[in-house]
Chain A
């Protein structure tokens, strides 16, 4: 039984969840707390990946980071090899798959924070940075954990975007989802079933974490006070 796809998928999902968290929390915070021109456009843009087919996203990504694109050329001159069809490309694909959903949940979390806490922090002289780290984030930590779990599950499950930009190279870029597809194609239903069960168990765990932590962090405390 080849366990490489499992190992690869876990690494890719972990890395992309970490990146998606940073990008997603930042974007969500800006969308919640700032008013600027083009906010609606940014909002639409970060939601778009949820509406587009993964192959279209993969295609755009290929145009953006492919070997003949400016980014691809700079990458290749710096690191001596192409970015596409590597594990890194698989991570980028998973980030693109996971971030929009993470932004949605993080934004809902930030919007659920009672504004008087933020106002209080500001009158107490706290910088916006300190306000984010010491007030908003701790007050939403449960929902953020839930959002991260959801992001992890999404990253793990990406198929289309990964196939387009990272390919399906066994032992190199073949993630769990792709390995299942290949196993079915070559008629190896034992392998397919095994991998499917594994991915289901991990996803189930993530969803469990999500529902467990999805409620507001301080709802019980607020009820008690």
Chain B
């Protein structure tokens, strides 16, 4: 559907270091998310597709039409690309009413057909009551719906959204997701959304493209990308906390298991295809899949002493850890241990000390870059 191979270099300037955009992506599904941290080149990629920015090299194909081709010297104007674009601040024309904004997008002749389209959009996006008002007189949600309706009214070949939920409160954000789900359901238009919000990527994407330093470093179904990041960098971008170095001590495909040395502890893990004994790899475990509990306290002659050194008390795949910080989250508690281990769980046990046990269930250990 959309194929883009684009390169653009920016030299270092006073306020910015040098940056190279080198993107290669192919989209086939209806809901695509370009995810990455600020400055990774997401919006720049979107602007190249929309035709605001001219890449130096490459080719952009949308539904078999060439939008840009450096070799053939093709660079269509934004007008001829038929890309609907929803801007971060909506870019509704302030001097036009909601209805006039939609009318502007239907083109010059005010035919019966165009009037019908405008009225249909006003209906579908629940703008009937505010059709005659100016953008500054309507609510954030209404502005949002108006800008999406305006982008869709010309029946674009793709809908591009640039961080549409940036700066929105939770209510508006959920409203936006609902509208976009409605768009997915009612319109055939494929979507390409840019965001740095992981939750949003999962909410809206069938296909997730992870961008970092101007490149697409990984793509796939969101849950696949999340469980199988290709590099430690991607794992960190995806918010994985427990990224650890490991050495493979044993592999047993028959029992689907492996023996690993992580941080001087031997642990059982799942079978790691494509790896050899002795390989040094990076593994990660998701914070919510680990278990943690305080080490038991023992009274010895009236003094409190901990079973710190009693490593024989630790079960398989358990390591001692020193609790550094407890962060209450809306629906859980995040425990941060010395050395960067992070565990989320539902509740904090009473009378918990600083010495804890963290358990890595074997299936929670995943190799980064593994197949």
Q: Decide: A139 and B104 in contact? CB cutoff 8 A.
A: no
Name the interface residues of A111-161: CB closer than 8 Å to any CB of B: 114, 116-117, 119-127, 130, 134-135, 138-139
Name the interface residues of B136-184: CB closer than 8 Å to any CB of A: 136, 143, 150-151, 154, 156
Binds A, one of B62-70, B83-91, B235-243, B306-314: B83-91
Chain B residues within an 8 Å CB radius of A138: 95
Does A225 have its Cβ within 8 Å of any Cβ on chain B? yes
Chain A residues within an 8 Å CB radius of B93: 117, 120-121, 135, 139
Chain B residues within an 8 Å CB radius of A125: 79, 82, 105, 107, 154
Chain A residues within an 8 Å CB radius of B134: 221
Provide the B233-255 mask, 1 if CB < 8 A to any CB of A, else 0: 00000000000000000000000
What separation, in Å, do the CA atoms of A225 and B134 have in the docked complex?
Answer: 10
Q: Decide: A221 and B91 in contact? CB cutoff 8 A.
A: no
Q: Decide: B94 and A123 in contact? CB cutoff 8 A.
A: no
Smallest CB–CB gap between A22 and chain B, Å? 22
Does B265 have its Cβ within 8 Å of any Cβ on chain A? no
Q: Decide: B136 and A134 in contact? CB cutoff 8 A.
A: no
Count of chain A residues near B, Cβ 8 A:
23
What separation, in Å, do the CA atoms of A126 and B107 have in the docked complex?
Answer: 7
Q: Decide: B79 and A120 in contact? CB cutoff 8 A.
A: no
Chain B residues within an 8 Å CB radius of A139: 93-95
Nearest CB in chain B to that of A138: its residue:
B95
Contact with A119, one of B78, B95, B150, B156 (Cβ below 8 angstroms): B78
Smallest CB–CB gap between A136 and chain B, Å? 11
Check A123/B83 contact, CB under 8 A, given A116-B89, A130-B108, A218-B94: yes
Does B38 have its Cβ within 8 Å of any Cβ on chain A? no
In the complex, 21 of the A-B residue pairs with CB atoms within 8 angstroms, ordered by the A residue number, are: A114-B91, A117-B93, A119-B78, A120-B91, A122-B51, A122-B52, A123-B83, A123-B85, A123-B156, A124-B105, A124-B151, A124-B154, A125-B105, A125-B107, A125-B154, A127-B79, A130-B108, A139-B94, A218-B95, A221-B94, A222-B136
Nearest CB in chain B to that of A224: its residue:
B136
Smallest CB–CB gap between B188 and chain A, Å? 19
Chain A residues within an 8 Å CB radius of B107: 125
Residues of A within 8 A of B (CB): 114, 116-117, 119-127, 130, 134-135, 138-139, 217-218, 221-222, 224-225
Does B135 have its Cβ within 8 Å of any Cβ on chain A? yes
Q: Decide: B85 and A120 in contact? CB cutoff 8 A.
A: yes
Chain A residues within an 8 Å CB radius of B156: 123
What separation, in Å, do the CA atoms of A221 and B97 have in the docked complex?
Answer: 13
What separation, in Å, do the CA atoms of A35 and B143 have in the docked complex?
Answer: 34
Q: Decide: A221 and B154 in contact? CB cutoff 8 A.
A: no
What separation, in Å, do the CA atoms of A139 and B93 have in the docked complex?
Answer: 9
Chain A residues within an 8 Å CB radius of B108: 130
What separation, in Å, do the CA atoms of A153 and B9 have in the docked complex?
Answer: 48
Provide the B260-302 mask, 1 if CB < 8 A to any CB of A, else 0: 0000000000000000000000000000000000000000000
Q: Decide: A122 and B94 in contact? CB cutoff 8 A.
A: no
What separation, in Å, do the CA atoms of A125 and B82 have in the docked complex?
Answer: 7
Check A225/B95 contact, CB under 8 A, given A123-B78, A123-B83: no
